[in-house]
A and B are shown apart, each in its own frame.
Chain A
Amino acid sequence: MTAIDELSGFYALWYREIKVFTREKSRIISSLFTPILWLGVFGGGLGSAVSLSGVNYETFIFPGILAMTILFTSVFFGLYIVWDKKIDFFKEVLVAPLSRTTIFMGKTVGGSVDSLIQGGAMLIFGLFIGVHYTLQSLLAILGFMFVLAVMLVSVGLILGSNMESVEGFQLISSFLIFPMFFFSGTLFPTNNLPPYLLALTMIDPVTYAVDGLRGLMLGTSAFPIPLDFAVMLIYTSIMVALGVLSFKRLK
């Protein structure tokens, strides 16, 4: 196979995801509902009593809620490969003369773009609660969002390609997605944490996305923004590598 063939195969997978995405509009709406609920109820409610880092609480948690939108959409996108495997649609892809790396990347980028579009809708929502963007910060924000999405879609695909049924979804939601959200420093500042919480926060890759986004949006972050981005790139590379390996083993 030539590089051009691989590229058009990559595009085929992406083409499919975009078509699916545009046809399931209800999915977009419902995936935005939960984050907005968090912002409105948790942010608004607790925000009436608390303000952090010199901004109101609602604004403080906004970067984290944005990351959460991407977290849920991306991981579940990846997990849905279990369905693909079940309905045999995926066999058709696996029998194509494409390298498994291409198939994995097509899926990953397709899912990441979906997540990015949903994150984009959240960004617009941010304007109404007092978040400001410049052209420069917006590009950097989109960069963070994309890398985060690639990492999390990969996580979903790794789990999904090793799973046989959808029964594990609930388990992954409880033991992976929610902890990743809670330990990410979305709801509280990461300085002055008790040691056990600090350790978990430092391990959680989403922490660095939230911190970087917060720095870009509100001008306050625990780590330098380039460091946040570097840590995310490392995590993402590891997940992509593991994902390609999982796809190579797929039958």
Chain B
Amino acid sequence: MGKTYGSLTAVDNVSFTIGAGEIFGLLGPNGAGKTTTLSMLATLLKPTSGMALVNGYDVSRDSAKVRKSIGMVFQEPSSDDILTGWENLYAHALMFGVPRRERRERISRVLRLVNMEDRAEDLVKKYSGGMRRRLELARGLLHNPRILLLDEPTLGLDPQTREHIWEYIEDLAKTNNVTVILTTHYMDEADRLCDRVAIIDHGKIVALDNPGRLKAQLGGEVVKIKSQTIDLGKLRGLDFISSVKQADGYVLLTVQKSSMHLQDILNRVGVVESVEVHPTTLNDVFLHYTGHEIRDESGEGGTMERIAQYEGRSR
């Protein structure tokens, strides 16, 4: 499916299939089209081309059924701060058709899940950012959705809260067979949490696989060199170097058994300004596929996407 706003292509014909109980990550910098993709799956935006089935329902034609199947947690705080935590959940239960008999019981259950029973009667105004996030996660789960859509679930949270939320999400997928689709621009989050990751850049999926395999594809360790005298020709064709790339003023080599070959490499390079060796991370995978670091474009949170949506609306 794809989404264009006039001449701007926000999502460029992406295509993927996600299995039940899977944690699927859309990884990319802000403005890559992650939120737009998620919003189309949530039926908040209509695709301009192609189609998507969520829980077997067409997002364009059966939007009400899709909405009942999904729980969505937005990037920006979307709980009502004039209401208490409990009241937010109650209003949600009413809107999502939770049967009357089950409302109270389910509210208690999700509150327990996110460890917030003791703060349920406080106004959301008085919550910290992390508590608000947890409440919204609880809310997303209240109507027992088969699929949970999380837009940057741990954006701006402290490490401890992030770890907590990751545990909840993992637990949900494992024990309740809930399918989780999340967007993130955090490499560690994608690596730690996701069964599969789609790397998305400029609206296109450039790679899609299990994080471990994505890293293994590069093979070996990454040697990052900064040097003025480097001659790439001297490095190509060596059997222990599986790829040579230039990005951001650095030369990136993927090297097998780098500890054995490092001296050999440095001899060929000449004068070295800096050298770095580390195990392959998703960051290297990202760099490998897109030719730039993920942080390059992460300015204001999702500004480009929002401008695109804004312009789309006024058209």
Asked if A8 contacts B91 (CB within 8 A), the reply is no
How many A-B residue pairs lie within 8 Å, measured between CB atoms? Answer: 82
Give chain B's interface residue range (CB within 8 Å of chain A). 20 to 34
A188 on the interface (CB 8 Å rule)?
no
A1→B83 contact, CB < 8 A: no
Known pairs A89-B78, A95-B67, A97-B67; A15 contacts B43 (CB<8 A): no
CB distance from A102 to the nearest CB of B (A): 9
| Contact call A16/B77, Cβ cutoff below 8 A | no
Residue of B nearest to A164 (CB): B310
Asked if B94 and A88 sit within 8 Å, CB to CB, the answer is no
User: CB-CB < 8 A to A91: which residues of B?
Assistant: 44, 74, 78
CB of B68 within 8 Å of the partner chain: yes
Q: Are B64 and A97 in contact (CB under 8 A)?
A: yes
A124 is an interface residue with CB less than 8 A from chain B: no
Chain A residues positioned under 8 Å from B206 (CB to CB): none
Please judge, given known A-B contacts A20-B82, A24-B82, whether A92 and B92 are in contact too, CB under 8 Å: yes
Cβ-based interface call for B87 (8 A) = yes
Distance between B202 CB and nearest chain A CB, rounded to angstroms: 23
Residues of the A chain whose Cβ atoms lie less than 8 Å from the Cβ of B79:
89, 92
* Contact indicator B87/A19 (Cβ below 8 Å): yes
Of chain A, the residue at the smallest CB distance from B71 is: A95
| A97 x B313 contact (CB < 8 A) | no
Residue B95 interfacial (CB < 8 Å) = yes
Whether the Cβ atoms of A88 and B44 lie closer than 8 Å is no
Q: Is A11 interfacial (CB-CB < 8 Å)?
A: yes
Q: Mark A214-251, 1 if CB is under 8 A from B, else 0.
A: 00000000000000000000000000000000000001
- CB–CB A251/B64 < 8 A: no
Residue of A5, A15, A23 touching B97 (CB-CB under 8 A): A5
Min C-beta distance of A93 to chain B, whole Å: 7
Given contacts A15-B90, A251-B313, contact A93 B95 (CB under 8 A): yes
The 0/1 profile, CB within 8 Å of A marked 1, for residues 44-80 of chain B is: 1100000000000000000011011010101011111
CB neighbours (8 Å) of B43 from chain A are: 95
With A24-B82, A88-B78 in contact, is A12–B44 under 8 Å at CB? no
The minimal Cβ–Cβ distance linking B236 to chain A, given in whole angstroms, is 50
Of the listed residues B43, B78, B100, the one surrounded by the most CB atoms of chain A closer than 10 A to its CB is B78
Assess whether A78 is interfacial by the CB under 8 Å rule.
no
Is the pair A19, B82 in contact by a Cβ cutoff of 8 Å?
Answer: yes
Can you pick out 24 interface pairs between chain A and chain B where the beta carbons lie within 8 Å of each other?
A1-B64, A1-B97, A2-B97, A8-B95, A8-B97, A8-B100, A9-B95, A12-B95, A13-B91, A15-B94, A19-B82, A23-B82, A87-B78, A92-B74, A92-B92, A94-B44, A95-B43, A96-B67, A96-B96, A97-B64, A97-B96, A98-B95, A164-B310, A251-B309
**Given A15-B94, A99-B64, 6 new contacts (CB under 8 A):** A19-B83, A96-B92, A97-B65, A97-B96, A98-B95, A251-B45
